[in-house]
Structure 1
Amino acid sequence: MDDQTAATYARLAESIVSLKMLPRTGWLQRGIPAAESVAEHSFGIAALALVFTAADSSFDREQLLAMAIVHDLAEALLGDLPLSARRLIGESVKHDAERRAMAELCVALPGGDYLIRLWEEYAAGTTREARFVKALDRVETLVQALAYERAGNRSLDEFWTGATEGLTEFPHLAMFVTWLAAQRPV
């Protein structure tokens, strides 16, 4: 490996490290002081992808896990844009900025086009695996919301509103979300 390639890998590695230190903004906005990081969230999605497909060989698990890991990689450059910001700037602006960030992070890497394609597939939801990871993005957020509520945090009702909407393709996830909602502290 030459110095230029090593430096390219090092820049991406530094971006990945930054995701371990980047708290998820939505939790901070709701007064959660030790909010999970973007990297912790991505790990949670990857772990849930593995668990929920362990008995279902119809999924491409390698694709699921890779997509779960890269789905928020662009946030290393953009930061974690909460729903309030996305509502104001629009999904197309957010998507375009994320696409440019993924290109900046990955285009110079050997195999970087693979990472960009994975992210594009996730963002577009063009495959069952991409839609499953998108569904798990919501599910993992609800698992985290329940943990924060159990720790005494309140004002998280908005995360639960319509929690099973868009999960019809994956009824076992919808049932799990319904079960999670029933576990919420009163």
Structure 2
Amino acid sequence: MTDRNILAYARLAEQIVALKLLPRVGWLQRGIANAESVAEHSFGLAALALIFTAADDSVDRERVLAMALVHDIAEALIGDLPFSARRLIGEAVKRDAERRALVELCTPIPGGDHLIRLWEEYAAGATREARLVKALDRVETLVQALAYERAGNRLLDEFWIDATAGLEEFPVLMAFVDRLAAQRNG
């Protein structure tokens, strides 16, 4: 291990730690004062990935967990782009910016190309594992929305519109989201 490698690890670690301080902008736009950070969201996603894959041998758990952890690292450079911004700049522009940020962040470290490939697999939804992480990303947002609503926050109805759309590949997630919606309305 060279001094250069150690320096590259240190720089990436600093960027990852900064995600703990980066609030998710979509929540701020909806008036949530103490919005979760990108790192808190990523932890929630990884925890859900661990839980929902514990008894599922049809997916590679290690890849699912790795994708869950890498999926938002690029936000350390580009920030958290809420849906309102993504709608205006387009998915292709967002994806290209995220890829360039991830390349900048991960190329200097040994094995960084592996992290970039995991993110590319996730971004493309190229495998069942990638589609599961994308689905869980959405589910985690709904779990958080329910928690915010229980704490008295409003203006979150839009998150629940078509909440199970795109989850057909994962019936257990559809049932889980249905249960969340029932708790919300009950």
TM-score, scaled relative to structure 1: 0.98
* Aligned residue in 2 for 1:59: 59
Deviation at 1:6, TM superposition (A): 0.9
Q: Is the 8 A contact 1:167 1:174 kept in 2?
A: yes
Deviation at 1:2, TM superposition (A): 2.2
The 2-side partners of 1:103 and 1:128 are apart by 24
* Residue 185 of structure 1, CA deviation: 5.3
- Shift in Å, 1:108: 1.3
State yes or no: 1:168 paired with 2:160.
no
* Distance of 1:2 and 1:172 partners within structure 2: 46
| Deviations 1:52-104, CA, capped at 9 Å, x for gaps | 11111121110000000000000000000000000000000000000100100
Runs of 4+ in 1 over 6 A off after TM superposition: none
- What SS is found at the alignment partner of 1:20? coil
What's the counterpart of residue 42 of structure 2? 42
Instruction: Please report how far the alpha carbon of residue 5 of structure 1 lies from its aligned counterpart in structure 2 after TM superposition.
Output: 1.1
1:87 and 2:93 equivalent?
A: no
- State whether residues 20 and 40 of structure 1, in contact with CA within 8 Å, keep that contact through their aligned partners in structure 2: yes
- For the residue of structure 1 that corresponds to 2:80, the secondary structure is coil
Q: How many angstroms apart in 2 are the aligned matches of 1:30 and 1:81?
A: 14
Q: Sequence identity of aligned pairs in percent?
A: 76
Once the 2 structures are TM-superposed, how far is the Cα of residue 4 of structure 1 from its aligned partner? 1.2
1:135 counterpart residue number? 135
- RMSD, aligned CA: 0.9
TM-superposed CA distance for 1:3, in Å, is 1.8
Secondary structure of the residue that 2:26 maps to in structure 1?
helix
C-alpha distance in 1 between matches for 2:185 and 2:136? 22
The residue that corresponds to 1:15 in the other structure is 15
Q: Distance in 2 between matches of 1:138 and 1:39?
A: 15
Length, aligned pairs only: 186
Which residue is 1:3 aligned to?
Answer: 3
The yes-or-no answer on 1:107 pairing with 2:113 is: no
TM-score if structure 2 supplies the norm length? 0.98
